[in-house]
Amino acid sequence: MASQNLRTPGPTPLPSAVRDALARDMINHRGPEFAELMHECVDGLKWAFQTQHDLLILTASGSGGLESIVVNTLSPGDKLLAISIGYFGDRLIAIARAFGVDVVPMRLDDGHAADPQQIADALRADPAIQTVFVTHNETSTGVLNPLEAIARAVKETRPEALLLVDGISSVGSVPLQPEEWGMDVVVAGSQKGWMVPPGLAFVSVSPRALERSAQARLPRSYFDWQAHRRSAERGQTPWTPAVGLFFGLQAGLRLMRDEGLERLFERHRQMAAYTRNGLVELDLRLVADSDHASPTVTTAYVPEGINAKELLEALRSRHDVVLAGGQGRLDGKIIRVAHLGWFDQDDLDEALLALRIELNKVRAADSSSPATARA
């Protein structure tokens, strides 16, 4: 099979060093080899998260990491201010409600970031809120929230509240500083910027969040942070981990260290700007407010009269370029071009060229059709 130009925001392409690592034979997950492997992975993750907080590795997709933050920090009936700027923010709300949390939702229109002032106002209006959730990078709309300002607003308005962050499509690709900014919990997922297949979730947990988890009373078992912490002291996980993915993670983190965090962040910033310009040159209207455009995924509306599914299928079958479509209410309305993890400008040039060719085709067909008059 010809190799595809996979431009979806997870899974992302794998460098050959990672693929080789994934092919290794198994080791005993209760032996010294695994303890050493886990130690290196935890160290590397702390480096990329820029934190000294506890770092737990769960065998689960990103959503499992999100479930873990709900069940470890909340008790039945607790109020959670959940800020959603899209599909993945809504997912956290759904998880929290499934567990009986009293969610106070704050939803913003697609393409817009959250407003720190509005968050401070919501906290002032409801003294019972002791936990706040926000998405760092909303992958469904390509919007990066102003996380530092949001964290400051929470800290100033309700210093005792825990701040929980979905950083699944940002951590490792976009700067953030858990201690300095005041974030208690941050979740990431292996198939986004880490150059590793899906299956591992990474969670950084502050000392206050650990204290909360010792008291929290929602039902939990597999995702119990306390159990994960106890096992981690022995270089283990409480349940059998996805050992093969740990090998891949080790290789991916080594590549990230070789590149260096600052260069890595800068590459994502530059390539995002490049992609936005490329899409605007194709006369596409961007979804994200330009002040808050994501460094890892760029989104644009599909022009009226063009079928999004057919366009994506033409790109895939004729050009081996795989873009993502819209999710939830944006299904059929937008396309998403990912630029995170292992990629370079050539991958984007190829995707933009394929898009130009296919858009020109449908636009030419449209303007030559006699039925262009609008009803």
Ligand X SMILES: *Cc1c(COP(=O)(O)O)cnc(C)c1O
Four-point Cα dihedral 171, 181, 70, 202, nearest 10? 30
Stretch that binds ligand X, among 60-68, 122-130, 235-243, 254-262 (CB under 6 A): 60-68
Nearest distance, CB of residue 359 and ligand X, angstroms = 26
**Cβ closest to ligand X, residue 63 vs residue 68:** 63
135 near ligand X, rule: CB under 6 A = yes
Stretch that binds ligand X, among 12-20, 132-140, 261-269, 354-362 (CB under 6 A): 132-140
Chosen residue from 61, 141, 157, 298 binding ligand X by CB under 6 A: 61
Order of strands, sheet of 162-166, starting from the edge strand that comes earlier in the sequence: 54-59, 200-205, 185-189, 162-166, 131-135, 79-84, 102-107
Chosen residue from 67, 78, 166, 358 binding ligand X by CB under 6 A: 166
Nearest distance, CB of residue 300 and ligand X, angstroms = 18
User: What are the distances in angstroms from CA 243 to CA 23, 28, 44, 142, 151?
Assistant: 11, 9, 16, 32, 35
Stretch that binds ligand X, among 131-139, 174-182, 208-216, 255-263 (CB under 6 A): 131-139
Chosen residue from 72, 169, 213, 237 binding ligand X by CB under 6 A: 169
What residues numbered 195-214 form the site for ligand X, per CB under 6 A? 198
Chosen residue from 51, 68, 73, 139 binding ligand X by CB under 6 A: 139
168 near ligand X, rule: CB under 6 A = yes
**Cβ closest to ligand X, residue 61 vs residue 236:** 61
Nearest distance, CB of residue 168 and ligand X, angstroms = 4
Nearest distance, CB of residue 324 and ligand X, angstroms = 10
Nearest distance, CB of residue 9 and ligand X, angstroms = 6
C-alpha–C-alpha distance, residues 144 and 113, integer Å: 7
- Counting residues that bind ligand X (by CB under 6 A) gives 13
Chosen residue from 13, 142, 189, 341 binding ligand X by CB under 6 A: 189
Nearest distance, CB of residue 356 and ligand X, angstroms = 27
Nearest distance, CB of residue 60 and ligand X, angstroms = 8
Q: Which residue is nearest to ligand X (CB)?
A: 62
Nearest distance, CB of residue 256 and ligand X, angstroms = 18
**Cβ closest to ligand X, residue 44 vs residue 142:** 142
**Cβ closest to ligand X, residue 201 vs residue 314:** 201
Stretch that binds ligand X, among 45-53, 58-66, 69-77, 147-155 (CB under 6 A): 58-66
Chosen residue from 12, 44, 84, 88 binding ligand X by CB under 6 A: 88
C-alpha–C-alpha distance, residues 159 and 179, integer Å: 14
Stretch that binds ligand X, among 56-64, 171-179, 238-246, 272-280 (CB under 6 A): 56-64
Beta carbons within 8 Å of 201's beta carbon, 6+ residues apart: 57, 58, 59, 60, 61, 62, 64, 65, 68, 187, 188, 189, 190
**Cβ closest to ligand X, residue 44 vs residue 89:** 89
Stretch that binds ligand X, among 59-67, 105-113, 171-179, 249-257 (CB under 6 A): 59-67
Site for ligand X, rule CB under 6 A = 10, 61-63, 88, 135, 137, 139, 166, 168-169, 189, 198
